[in-house]
Amino acid sequence: MKFNPVIVCDLDDVIRNLSDLSSKAGFKLERAQLALVKPNICGIYHPSLDLLSSIAEFLLSDTESVVIGETRSMMHDPEEQFKRLGVDALLKRFSGHVRAVDLSNDEWVKVRISNPHALGEINLPKTALTSDVLVNVPKAGTHSTTRITCALKNLFGLLPQKHKYSTYHPLGMDKVIADIAQAINPDLNIADAGTKAILAVDALAVDTVACRFMNIDPLKVEHLRLVSEDRGEKLEEFIKKMKVVEV
């Protein structure tokens, strides 16, 4: 397995130099029709609007159109959040080439999980599966159930059902997150960690590094262990092989 580096830098540096830093992380943007950006919009922690703007601008350099997509949660509807958080105002900079979309209204596609912990299959929005590029943009934070919420937990927000909490939490959230990680793999993950940012093509690597900013032992985060083990490797070994580059 190839291990691309995890880049840790100031958030402002990512906003100014995303092309260079994403290249250092092993991501290469190639000509594409559609890029999907998945920020955490309907959860508790929201990434920087300046970061979202920088990502959209970067993607449009070689992509026909960009969708900023989110699904409904028990707390929020995307359209309300896009307006409240300033995403709608942000779109005006891009002359119609960037859209904010409620992915719960998308066609749902059933995806089978090859090595299920809790779910034999899941529904995902078609756009999440057919976009040429998927950029995962979480805001790192602590979580009462899963200890951390970051790149892997943010993918839970792709499940299109509004009542995710009541449907999936009883099954064990760490197990559900690990199942989702088998179904969808972002091309680039950019975590807003306050004044810092973490970039990597591997969501597991981003989350492992994010733990240090929250003073959490990654070995005690069950979904990190499960995702690593689903790849055939103990998390301890994965951590030893990781290359973290601080810029």
In this predicted model, what pLDDT tens digit does every residue of 83-138 receive, in sequence order?
Answer: 999 999 999 999 999 999 999 999 999 999 999 999 999 999 999 999 999 999 99
Give the pLDDT confidence score for residue 166 in this predicted structure: 87
Give the pLDDT confidence score for residue 1 in this predicted structure: 59
Residues of the chain with pLDDT under 50: none
Q: What is the pLDDT of residues 160-176, one digit of tens each?
A: 999 988 899 999 999 99
Give the pLDDT confidence score for residue 165 in this predicted structure: 83
Q: What is the mean pLDDT of the chain?
A: 96
| Cα four-point dihedral sign 19, 25, 31, 33 | negative
Report how far residue 149's alpha carbon sits from residue 46's, in angstroms, rounded to the nearest whole number: 11
Report how far residue 55's alpha carbon sits from residue 69's, in angstroms, rounded to the nearest whole number: 13
Neighbours of 24 (CB within 10 A): 16
Neighbours of 242 (CB within 10 A): 17
- In contact, 224 and 204? CB cutoff 8 Å: yes
Phi, psi (5° rounding) for residue 195? -85, -10
Give the pLDDT confidence score for residue 116 in this predicted structure: 98
